[in-house]
């Protein structure tokens, strides 16, 4: 059983990509919606929260653990691997590498949360892959809340998205990296704000990698189940699953106190 974890509904962009490639694997999804968004919390808090979530998923017998949250990966992926050397983890890092390959102007924009942009993983990939390319990060605060509320379309969403995209376009970016797993759900609005720009959603690549990691671990009788847990409201999550056209599955509440 593959575990997929995010602060909220965003990681389902990765879950959906996994399901598109493989209808048989069992997937357990944890949305920590009681504590979402993570992006503006202190790194130490995010780390503690994310480690608790990973511990709980591992106690459910799931592996690999896909940290389908750039913010949690930035804060805690390294520590998760240290605490659980026997568990394979798949993390999210802003897709700077493919963006560098695709830019023609030599400027790429990274849309992400404040914590992701402050994190070491982002600086490592930028230093490693962006030699002659300028990388401009934009803290897109507010966008996670719009996705959680199901406000994917409309004038207010377009305005919020445009306000974050404009500085990147002004800086000359011709490639935008979706550095938060919630943002693929705003893709239409982002495309409208950046009409001639290449948009990179890393979910399909992460899904392919996840299935490669999961292949040797897969149990004998996978049944194609998708099981959702949330620290928030199970009925709101069920509504979101339906509204976003996500794989069908039962939704259950889990108390924050259990995620330690
Ligand atoms: N989906 C998370 C990410 O990829 C959102 C973080 C948040 O809760 O602010 O960064």
As for how many domains the chain has, the answer is: 2
User: pLDDT tens digit string along 105-114?
Assistant: 999 999 999 9
Q: Are residues 181 and 105 in the same domain?
A: yes
Q: Are residues 154 and 225 in the same domain?
A: no
Q: Are residues 136 and 220 in the same domain?
A: no
More confident residue, 221 or 155: 155
Q: Are residues 181 and 250 in the same domain?
A: no
Q: 86: CA distance to ligand 1 center in Å?
A: 26
For a mutational test of ligand 1's pocket, the pick from 46, 49, 75, 144, i.e. the residue with the most ligand atoms closer than 8 A to its C-beta, is 144
Q: Are residues 162 and 103 in the same domain?
A: yes
- Is residue 218 over pLDDT 90? no
Q: Is the CB of 39 under 6 A from ligand 1?
A: yes
Residue 1, both tokens: 């059983």
Q: Are residues 83 and 106 in the same domain?
A: no
Q: Are residues 114 and 197 in the same domain?
A: yes
Domain holding 54: CATH number? Answer: 3.40.50.1860
Of the residues 201, 222, 240, which one is the last residue of a structural domain? 201
Active site residues: 69, 180
Residue 71, both tokens: 């913010």
User: pLDDT tens digit string along 165-175?
Assistant: 999 999 999 99
**CA dist., res. 224 & res. 73, Å (int):** 26
Nearest-CA residue for ligand 1 atom 9 is 39
129 touches 85 (CB < 8 A): no
Q: 11: CA distance to ligand 1 center in Å?
A: 8
Q: Is the CB of 210 under 6 A from ligand 1?
A: no
Residue 222 pLDDT class (50, 70, 90 cuts): confident
Domain encompassing residue 108? 96-201
**Cα angle, residue 35 at apex, residues 136 and 164 outer, rounded to 5°:** 25
The predicted structure's pLDDT at residue 221: 84
24 touches 12 (CB < 8 A): no
Q: Is the CB of 69 under 6 A from ligand 1?
A: yes
Of the residues 185, 201, 217, which one is the last residue of a structural domain? 201
Mean pLDDT, rounded, of the chain: 97
- Is residue 219 over pLDDT 70? no
Q: Are residues 7 and 80 in the same domain?
A: yes
User: pLDDT tens digit string along 52-90?
Assistant: 999 999 999 999 999 999 999 999 999 999 999 999 999
Of the residues 181, 201, 221, which one is the last residue of a structural domain? 201
Q: Are residues 119 and 179 in the same domain?
A: yes
Q: Are residues 209 and 87 in the same domain?
A: yes
Q: Is the CB of 116 under 6 A from ligand 1?
A: yes
User: pLDDT tens digit string along 7-56?
Assistant: 999 999 999 999 999 999 999 999 999 999 999 999 999 999 999 999 99
Q: Give every CB contact of residue 93 below 8 A, 6+ residues apart in sequence.
A: 70, 73, 121, 122, 124, 125
Q: 193: CA distance to ligand 1 center in Å?
A: 21
Q: Are residues 82 and 211 in the same domain?
A: yes
Q: Are residues 161 and 84 in the same domain?
A: no
């Amino acid at each position: 059983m593959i575990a997929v974890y995010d602060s909220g509904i965003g990681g389902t962009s990765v879950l959906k990509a996994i399901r598109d490639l493989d209808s048989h694997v069992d997937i357990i999804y944890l949305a920590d919606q009681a504590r979402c968004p993570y992006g503006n919390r202190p790194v130490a808090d995010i780390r503690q929260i994310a480690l608790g979530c990973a511990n709980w998923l591992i106690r459910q017998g799931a592996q690999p653990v896909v940290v389908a949250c750039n913010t949690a990966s930035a804060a805690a992926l390294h520590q998760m691997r240290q605490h659980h050397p026997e568990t394979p983890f798949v993390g999210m890092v802003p897709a700077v590498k493919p963006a560098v390959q695709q830019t023609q102007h030599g400027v790429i924009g990274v849309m992400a949360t404040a914590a992701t942009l402050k994190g070491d993983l982002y600086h490592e990939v930028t230093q490693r892959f962006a030699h002659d390319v300028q990388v401009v990060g934009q803290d897109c605060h507010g966008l996670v809340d719009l996705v959680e509320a199901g406000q994917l379309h409309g004038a207010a969403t377009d305005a919020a998205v445009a306000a974050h995209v404009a500085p990147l376009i002004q800086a000359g970016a011709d490639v935008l990296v979706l550095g938060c797993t919630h943002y693929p759900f705003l893709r239409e609005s982002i495309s409208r704000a950046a009409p001639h720009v290449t948009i990179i959603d890393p979910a399909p690549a992460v899904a392919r990698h996840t299935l490669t990691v999961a292949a040797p671990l897969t149990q004998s009788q996978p049944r194609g189940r998708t099981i959702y847990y949330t620290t928030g409201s199970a009925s709101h999550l069920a509504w979101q699953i339906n509204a976003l056209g996500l794989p069908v599955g039962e939704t259950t509440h889990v108390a924050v106190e259990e995620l330690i």
